[in-house]
Amino acid sequence: MQSKPLGICLIIDCIGNDKDLLQDTFTSLGFEVQYFRYLSVDGIIQILHQVACMPQHQNYDSFVCVLVSRGGSQSVFGVDQTRSGCPLDQIRRMFMGDLCPSLLGKPKLFFIQIYVVSEDQQEVSSLLEVDGAGMNIVESKVRQPGPCMVHREADFLWSLCRADVALLEQSPCSPSVYLQCLSQKLQQERKRPLLDLHIELHSKVYDWNSRVSAKEKYSVWLQHTLRKKLILSCK
């Protein structure tokens, strides 16, 4: 990757305990950081739509999204008290190649920290469907020319960490162990392949888990469709 900046790094932080760490990390890696804090579910969806449609992606080599929020196991609540959630699958869908053609064939990296609210604590269990005319208009324009087609789901890295919301209730200002370890790896070992760093990130999180109570544990899940080895910086 050679573009300057490397791409947009969208940070949506509805908790606020890792702001400086996240901004410093991705700025140092050469990303243009756009930071939004304390958004509702509607606000999260609106910002994601806006960023997915940004023409600047055509000139950049990658995209990063960091999302920190309370939520369900597969959804985010933002700062809403109604507990209506935005499904994570719908968030990923916004950046697939048919809806976001300017990022087709480019790495799209998602780092997500969810503080999970148990179902009996949720006031409303319905999930918001992400749809509308804006997405349909974008989709109708997409036709990838040439004999070689890149699949719309290619080149995603999806790193999802879950922790019990009790962590925030016990220590409201405590940063995420997952995000701390991630930032440390990205800043200190940026010349190494990202997947290798993530394996070591898992090890650090599991080491933490071995020393704390069940309510303080983190669960990390990684899925990717990267087609090439990814190194964020050669400097």
Band (118; pLDDT cuts 50, 70, 90)? confident
How confident is the model over 80-108, as pLDDT tens digits? 866 679 999 999 999 999 999 999 999 99
Tell me: pLDDT of 177 over 80. yes
pLDDT at 27: 96
Q: What is the mean pLDDT of residues 190-196?
A: 93
Q: What angle do CA 170, 171, 174 make, to 5 degrees?
A: 150
Instruction: Find the farthest-apart pair of alpha carbons in the chain and give their distance in angstroms, rounded.
Output: 56
Matching residue, tokens 């020319």: 145
**Which of 158, 86, 175, 181 shows the shortest CA–CA distance to 129?**
86
77 touches 69 (CB < 8 A): yes
Cα(226)–Cα(94) distance, integer angstroms: 18
Mean of the per-residue pLDDT values of the chain = 87
**Which domains occur in the chain, in start order?**
7-118+150-225 (3.40.50.1460)
What is the dihedral angle through the alpha carbons of 7, 8, 10, 11, rounded to the nearest 10 degrees?
Answer: 70
As a three-state string, the secondary structure of the chain is: CCCCCCEEEEEEECCCCCHHHHHHHHHHCCCEEEEEECCCHHHHHHHHHHHHCCHHHHHCCEEEEEEEEEEECCEEEECCCCCCEEEHHHHHHHCCCCCCHHHCCCCEEEEEEEEECCHHHCCCCCECCCCCHHHHHHHHHCCCCCCCCCCCCCCEEEEEEEEECHHHHHCCCCCCHHHHHHHHHHHHCCCCCHHHHHHHHHHHHHHHHCCCCHHHCEEEEEEECCCCCCCCCCC
Q: What is the mean pLDDT of residues 177-188?
A: 96
How confident is the model over 28-66, as pLDDT tens digits? 999 999 999 999 999 999 999 999 999 999 999 999 999
Tell me: pLDDT of 126 over 70. no
27 touches 183 (CB < 8 A): no
**Which of 182, 174, 221, 206 shows the shortest CA–CA distance to 74?**
221
pLDDT at 120: 64
